Amino acid sequence: MIIEELSEAEENVATTLWQESGLTRSWNDPATDFHRTQEWSTSAVLGLRDDGGIVGTVMVGFDGHRGWIYYLAV
């Protein structure tokens, strides 16, 4: 297994996993959340890969004081 930052091309795979895991809410667009991590150097979506497929994700961020975890799915 390997953990690495996901690229914009993998947004659909990550957001599908979030939806299937029941993590999404109608008032937050998961695709927009994913793309926002690409805009800032203090946030990322990490993917857990097994046999070439993504089997887990976590969105991480740092606001200058605290670290945050969102969309933790396996």
pLDDT in tens, 13-31: 999 999 999 999 999 999 9
Name the least confident of 14-18, 29-33, 38-42, 67-71.
38-42
CATH of the domain at 45: 3.40.630.30
Can you tell me which residue has the tokens 């993590």? 23
Domain that holds residue 15: 2-73
* Structural domains in the chain (count): 1
Any long-range contacts for 67-74 (C-beta under 8 Å, 24+ apart)? 70/33, 71/14, 71/18, 71/23, 71/30, 71/33, 71/45, 72/23, 73/17, 73/18, 73/21, 73/23, 74/21, 74/48
The whole-number average pLDDT for the span 36-41 is 90
What percent of the chain lies above the pLDDT cut of 90? 91
Q: How confident is the model at residue 57 (pLDDT cuts 50, 70, 90)?
A: very high
